[in-house]
Structure 1
Amino acid sequence: MKKILPVLILLLFTVNCFGQQFAQYNTGTLYDSFENLSQRSFIPDSSRKYAFNFFLPNLSVNSYLKGNAQVPLKTRAFSGYYTADNLKVGPGNVYNRVNANVNNYWVMFKVFTSLEGNSEVGVSLQTRAEGRGLFTDETVALYAGPGAFPKDHYDDIFNNTGTYQAYHQASFTYREKLSKKFAVGIKLSALMGIRYQKATVTSSSIDFDRANDAALLSMTGRYYLNYNPGPFNSHDYLPTFRNPGAAIGIGTSLRTRDNFNLQFNFKDVGFIHWSSRSTVYNFASADTIFNLSTSRRENNIYDAVKNIAKTNVTVGSFTTPTNGKFEVSANKQFWLDYDNRYKYSPTLILSKELFFDGFTAALVNPFQYKNYVVTLTTAYDNNRVFSLGGQFMIKSPNAEFFIGSERFLPTASTALAGLKSNSQINKNAAYTAVDLFLGVSFKFGPVIEHPLNASFIPTENSPGFIKRLYNRIFGKDNGD
């Protein structure tokens, strides 16, 4: 991390993660059914009974960096040095924003359980990371050396904030079609926290001692850090119940008389209770950064910030929310030819983070020919970030593969910068992004057949659990 984004050392958190992946809406993939819970993943008389990803990762990475720090950080990451170009030192309140989301399904398994209820039961295991951060231009400029600062004293130029949260999520899902027009799904999850860090600097100052190539850094703020036995290493990524939590998701879909498919989703609303041996530092201290003009500058900045932040400690547990969302969408299908070979099925999505201020509107435009789907996605969020992406998918009733990016051009620019393209390294775009998702799954077992079409004894034809409960309370509706 020091070599990729050293500026984040000053914030004392790893790149944190909030984002969204919209292109899978209404695709009917196994991934779609675990994210949008009322969506079906099986097609009776076509699909086989079991769906599984065979432990092949279904991964989504969504991140961007917005602000003046893009060129300095890309220069450091890909060329090995800092530049203070584009950075504004001294005016204050010039912030850079870093957002990202990581979501990987290690296991996805579903079983079709009832023809009448069109019901599905599934289990999954995934790893997620989420968070966000704001940091000033001066934070990056400090890594370029004291020459970027014309004055000897500055106040409140390092007032940064950031959070990072990573956890495992083991889930049980159930989906049922209650009528021809209405379906519901639920997801119950046990969470196992991996890492939590939150740093907020409320006041800061720096005094440069140019004669001794040093600076006195002062900061006041609060730093949360979850407990780990010893230095954090790869073993700490293994699932444990040291930091337990829980989450719930609920989704419904309704088909209108005009054949619009409406979805309403509460996604992964939950909490994590971090160990009672975790720490909270209410710091108000100072430390000296030595050798600011030498190659040791990055390590010396890190050591000074660490010495400041890890003071005035309180040991105890704390509870944090997951990045739960509420989403509403509207979809409609259009056949573009008389032979029903070409289909266009746009989806409009509105997404709101429940515990944070994030809001995004997206329009997903999939064009399908037989088993091939090409999707164009546009999105705009409350941070004034416009995204344009695409997806390619091959989907049959019993196999599916997809790959894409929801920020295609900025992601391509970052990839070229990684290949040492100076034009892309020095490009100060609207934002810099790394955005990629891909997945694959298969279905196996007997074909799901209606009784009149069955070549063998079919799946039990009985109502699903929710429908049986509904019939018991309100009486059976013979009209469904």
Structure 2
Amino acid sequence: MKKLLLTVFLLSSCYFAKAQQYALFGTRTMFDAFENVSQKSFTLDSSRKFSSNFFLPNFGANAANIGDAESVIRKLSQEGINDTRGLPIGTGAINHFYLNSNVYVATFRLFKSYKYQKEMGLAWQVRADLHIDYTNETLAIFDSYDRFPQVQELKGILNTKGYQQSYHQFSFTYRENYNKRLAFGLKASLLSGILYNKLDIRNSSLYIDPNLNALAIEINGNYASNFSDTDEINKNTFFPNFKNPGLSFSFGTNYTTKKGLFLMANVKDLGFIWWRSNTINNSIDKQTILSDINDESSNNNKEIRDIFLAGPGGKFLAATNAKIDVYASKQYGFYKPGLVASKNLFYKGGDIAFVNTFIYRNLAASVTPLYNLNNIFMVGLQGKYQTPNFEIFGGTDNMLSSISYARGLYNGTSDKGSGPNGASFYMGIGIKFGNIVNHPQFSDTMPGINDQQERSFFKNLFSIFKRK
């Protein structure tokens, strides 16, 4: 019984374990320049012409769960035990789980021209996003169906809604100064889908009859995926092949006032993936009766899977998790406060963060209280060492929950910690090399200095709006 109903839940979960890393906004690190496309990352007379991560670690991952099932998930993830005896059922309560990751596999960036401070970059990222809403009963039924009323129809017991999407992202970025205070940037990306999974069970019912050793399950909803069997997922699945292609675009701007207030706005990863290889797009409205539910050798597990998988194929488009960000900061000596507001455009979620950065020479530490719009409050912590030609950083967006989870995982116990489950970690390295990008009076090899005909891309672009 537990195994066959577990199949339903797994169909709406992801096979991956994006942190936002707001403390890196406004730092002019390579990560900042790739994520906030109008940002520059080279310093005249100090930085070298090229930068890269040389395939060294540059990644972030963030996960959280909120709802009645917090203690159950904590014990399940840290001890491997699904104990739902204290979980209320029949209340209609919904739990929320989200997870995202962003891995920069390879990056390369160059200082193109002194005039307009032009920078160009190439990056290969692997991204994953997940959000799932599930009922208490969905977890409780994995533990034991003896807790549920029997010989009675149970409505809405398996109502679950969620999606998971992961893909490769190959990007080209370009930024330049429009004038001394204003800058623009853009990012164009070619996408290669890895895994997609979306489940929306709007209505469900379960009828258990222990006397007949049988149950009836009814589900109404939709299921879409790019795989029909988990056995199809292997190491080749995770290599870019463009069988599920896509495009995305980012664009942004920043402005520095005369009093030193730095303002930045971005629209990030606005795009889609065309899922067309081995896809399923199934509308479900079916009742299935299963017998011999306590017999592990029966075909019940396959019959449950067939409810979702035995449907027509069909190509479909899925939007990427586009965001809009707004950031403001100003430095006061060694202290630099910053305020970030971020909102997902097509999916649930968003953040409001207050970044407090303390700077001493090449070292910086940041403390970031953050409110996630999924009703989760977090506190982030970051450390950074940065010179004009080298940077290394590490941190977490959810310090307390990450420490609690790590302790419980290490000790194999879930008796520590309370509140929403969560874990977050990110780190990165950037190295610059090549000739130093000097001012013109110090170097006759300055990129762009001898090109008197060089023009601004964005000034040419915006000229179409000028009156003739």
- The alignment status of 1:457 with 2:445, answered yes or no, reads yes
Contact 2:7 2:304 (8 Å CA) reproduced: no
Partner Cα distance (2:128, 2:187) in 1: 19
Q: Which among 377, 389, 397 is matched to residue 368 of structure 2? A: 377
Partner Cα distance (2:464, 2:286) in 1: 64
Residue equivalent to 1:330: 328
The AA in structure 1 aligned to 2:357 is P
Shift of 1:16: 7.9
- Cα 1:446–1:252, aligned 2, differ >3 Å: closer, same or farther? same
Residue equivalent to 1:226: 226
Residue equivalent to 1:344: 335
Partner Cα distance (1:432, 1:15) in 2: 19
Residue equivalent to 2:270: 269
The AA in structure 2 aligned to 1:448 is V
- Cα 1:291–1:445, aligned 2, differ >3 Å: closer, same or farther? farther
Partner Cα distance (1:255, 1:301) in 2: 64
Residue equivalent to 1:197: 197
Partner Cα distance (1:419, 1:24) in 2: 29
Relative to structure 2, which stretch is displaced further, 376-385 or 138-147? 376-385
Residue equivalent to 1:187: 187
Q: How does 1:138-149 map to 2 (within 5 A)?
A: 138-149=137-148
3-state SS in 1 of match to 2:62: strand
- Cα 1:269–1:147, aligned 2, differ >3 Å: closer, same or farther? same
Shift of 1:293: 7.0
- Cα 1:428–1:307, aligned 2, differ >3 Å: closer, same or farther? farther
Shift of 1:179: 1.0
1:222-257 per-residue CA deviation (whole Å, 9 max, x = no partner) reads 100125897121101110121111011001000112
Residue equivalent to 1:27: 27
Residue equivalent to 1:429: 418
Relative to structure 2, which stretch is displaced further, 156-165 or 15-24? 15-24
Partner Cα distance (2:258, 2:300) in 1: 63
Relative to structure 2, which stretch is displaced further, 141-150 or 462-471? 462-471
- Cα 1:426–1:150, aligned 2, differ >3 Å: closer, same or farther? farther
Partner Cα distance (1:226, 1:168) in 2: 15
The AA in structure 1 aligned to 2:81 is Y
Shift of 1:277: 4.5
Residue equivalent to 1:478: none
Q: Which among 338, 349, 352 is matched to residue 361 of structure 1? A: 352
- Cα 1:471–1:105, aligned 2, differ >3 Å: closer, same or farther? closer
Relative to structure 2, which stretch is displaced further, 439-448 or 269-278? 269-278
The AA in structure 1 aligned to 2:74 is K
Shift of 1:89: 1.1
- Cα 1:132–1:472, aligned 2, differ >3 Å: closer, same or farther? closer
Relative to structure 2, which stretch is displaced further, 200-209 or 68-77? 68-77
Contact 2:18 2:102 (8 Å CA) reproduced: no
1:126-163 per-residue CA deviation (whole Å, 9 max, x = no partner) reads 01111311000000000111222244431112111110
Contact 2:24 2:31 (8 Å CA) reproduced: yes
Residue equivalent to 1:87: 87
Partner Cα distance (1:19, 1:437) in 2: 7
The AA in structure 2 aligned to 1:161 is K
3-state SS in 2 of match to 1:346: strand
1:357-377 per-residue CA deviation (whole Å, 9 max, x = no partner) reads 423211111111011110111
Contact 1:44 1:448 (8 Å CA) reproduced: yes
Partner Cα distance (2:285, 2:324) in 1: 38
- Cα 1:291–1:390, aligned 2, differ >3 Å: closer, same or farther? farther
Residue equivalent to 1:392: 383
- Cα 1:215–1:471, aligned 2, differ >3 Å: closer, same or farther? closer
Shift of 1:330: 0.7
The AA in structure 1 aligned to 2:237 is D
Residue equivalent to 2:285: 284
Contact 2:382 2:393 (8 Å CA) reproduced: yes
3-state SS in 1 of match to 2:41: coil
Relative to structure 2, which stretch is displaced further, 35-44 or 20-29? 20-29
The AA in structure 1 aligned to 2:430 is S
1:424-474 per-residue CA deviation (whole Å, 9 max, x = no partner) reads x145732111211110010000111112233x6332325554266369879
Partner Cα distance (2:146, 2:416) in 1: 23
TM-score, L = length of structure 2:
0.91
Shift of 1:19: 5.8
Partner Cα distance (1:124, 1:465) in 2: 23
Shift of 1:206: 1.2
Contact 2:342 2:351 (8 Å CA) reproduced: yes
Residue equivalent to 2:106: 107
- The alignment status of 1:409 with 2:381, answered yes or no, reads no
Partner Cα distance (1:291, 1:69) in 2: 30
Shift of 1:386: 0.7
Shift of 1:198: 0.5
Contact 1:79 1:420 (8 Å CA) reproduced: no
- The alignment status of 1:443 with 2:442, answered yes or no, reads no
Partner Cα distance (2:432, 2:16) in 1: 35
1:162-204 per-residue CA deviation (whole Å, 9 max, x = no partner) reads 1011111001000101211001111000111111111111111
3-state SS in 2 of match to 1:393: strand
5+ residue gaps, structure 2: none
Partner Cα distance (2:76, 2:213) in 1: 22
Contact 1:290 1:300 (8 Å CA) reproduced: no
CA RMSD of aligned residues (A): 2.8
